[in-house]
C-alpha cells in the first residue's frame, strides 16, 4: 500500500513552525473526533466533480471515506490516530512532503483549529482541496491568502446539518457516539472547494439542502469498483 510507504518517508520530519504546521500534538488532535453525517458527504458528491482517486487525511472512523467509496471512488483513508475500522493510523498529514499514492484531490472534515493548516498544506500536496467547515470559515484576515486566492466554490447548507456529536473511547477501548439526546447543529456549515491554480477569478456559491441527500437511493450510490486503499 502506497500510504504505508509515504508514512515511512514522513517519520522523523520536523514540523514547520513558521506556518503553524505540527504545533498541535496528538494529545490535542486525538480528541477532536466528530464523524461527518452521511448526507453532507452525499451532497458534495452530487454537485462537485471529483477525480476517481481521493485522499481523506482526517478519516477518523471512516464515515466520510466510506460514503466516497460507496459512490465509486478509490479512497486513501488516513488519520493521525489509529482508530481502527480499516483506516491507516499514525499518518500525520501536516508532516507529509508529498501526497499519498500521488492523489490530486483531498476531501476531508478537518479539526476546526487546524483548518487553515490543512488547506495550506493540502494545496502544497494536491491540486484540489475540499473541506467541510463552519460557514464562519469565510471570515478572518488570517486566512486571506487561501480564501482570496484559492477558494473557487462554496456550497453552504440551507438548513443546519445533523449535529456532529463527539465520539469518545470507552474503558473497553471501543469508540462510541454520544448516546444522549440528538439535536440539529447550532452552526451553519458549508463545503469549501480550493484549487492550487484557479482557472477563473472569483468564488461561486451554490446553496444545498442536506435533506435532499438523506436517502442514499436519491443519488444512486454504488459499491462497484469502490475501495479503501
Assigned domain for 94 exists: yes
Assigned domain for 128 exists: yes
> Residue 51: is its pLDDT beyond 90?
yes
Assigned domain for 229 exists: no
CA distance 115 to 168: 21
Residue 185 vs residue 108, higher pLDDT:
108
160 CB contacts (<8 Å, ≥6 apart)? Answer: 184, 185, 186, 187, 188, 189
Encode pLDDT of 62-120 as tens digits.
889 999 999 999 999 999 988 776 789 999 999 999 999 999 999 999 988 999 999 99
Assigned domain for 158 exists: yes
The three grid cell numbers given for residue 99, joined into one nine-digit string = 501526497
Average pLDDT in the 17-33 region?
41
Assigned domain for 10 exists: no
Domain count, the chain: 1
> Residue 174: is its pLDDT beyond 90?
no
Assigned domain for 86 exists: yes
How many residues can be counted in the chain? 229
Assigned domain for 108 exists: yes
DSSP label of 64: H
Residue 152 phi/psi, 5° resolution?
-105, -30
Pairing of strands 189-195, 151-156: antiparallel
Q: How far is CA 216 from the centre of its chain?
A: 20
Q: Is 48 helix (H, G, I), strand (E, B) or coil?
A: coil
CA distance 68 to 79: 16
The C-alpha cell 458527504 sits at 41
Instruction: List beta partners, residue 151.
Output: 194
- Per the structure, the complete domain to which residue 107 belongs is given by 39-163+181-215
Average pLDDT in the 196-212 region?
95
Q: Tell me, what CATH number does 105's domain have?
A: 3.40.50.150
Assigned domain for 64 exists: yes
Q: How far is CA 163 from the centre of its chain?
A: 17
Encode pLDDT of 129-165 as tens digits.
999 999 999 999 999 999 999 999 999 999 988 765 5
Quick check: 66 and 54 in contact, CB under 8 A? no
- Predicted local distance difference test score (pLDDT) of residue 86: 76
Amino acid at each position: 500500500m502506497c500510504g504505508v510507504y509515504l508514512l515511512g518517508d514522513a517519520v522523523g520530519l520536523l514540523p514547520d513552525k513558521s506556518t503553524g504546521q505540527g504545533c498541535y500534538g496528538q494529545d490535542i488532535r486525538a480528541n477532536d473526533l466528530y464523524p461527518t453525517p452521511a448526507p453532507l458527504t452525499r451532497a458534495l458528491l452530487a454537485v462537485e466533480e471529483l477525480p476517481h482517486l481521493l485522499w481523506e487525511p482526517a478519516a477518523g472512523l471512516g464515515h466520510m471515506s466510506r460514503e466516497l467509496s460507496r459512490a465509486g471512488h478509490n479512497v486513501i483513508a488516513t488519520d493521525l490516530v489509529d482508530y481502527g475500522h480499516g483506516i491507516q493510523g499514525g499518518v500525520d498529514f501536516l508532516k507529509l512532503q508529498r501526497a499519498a499514492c500521488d492523489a490530486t484531490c483531498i476531501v476531508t472534515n478537518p479539526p476546526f483549529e487546524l483548518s487553515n493548516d490543512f488547506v495550506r498544506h493540502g494545496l502544497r500536496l494536491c491540486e484540489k482541496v475540499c473541506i467541510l467547515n463552519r460557514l464562519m470559515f469565510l471570515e478572518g484576515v488570517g486566512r486571506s491568502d487561501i480564501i482570496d486566492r484559492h477558494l473557487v466554490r462554496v456550497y453552504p447548507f440551507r438548513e443546519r446539518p445533523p449535529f456532529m456529536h463527539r465520539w469518545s473511547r470507552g474503558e473497553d477501548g471501543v469508540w462510541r457516539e454520544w448516546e444522549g439526546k440528538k439535536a440539529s447543529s447550532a452552526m451553519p456549515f458549508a463545503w469549501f472547494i480550493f484549487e492550487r491554480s484557479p482557472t477563473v477569478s472569483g468564488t461561486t456559491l451554490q446553496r444545498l439542502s442536506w435533506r435532499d441527500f438523506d436517502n442514499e437511493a436519491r443519488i444512486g450510490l454504488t459499491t462497484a469498483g469502490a475501495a479503501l486503499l
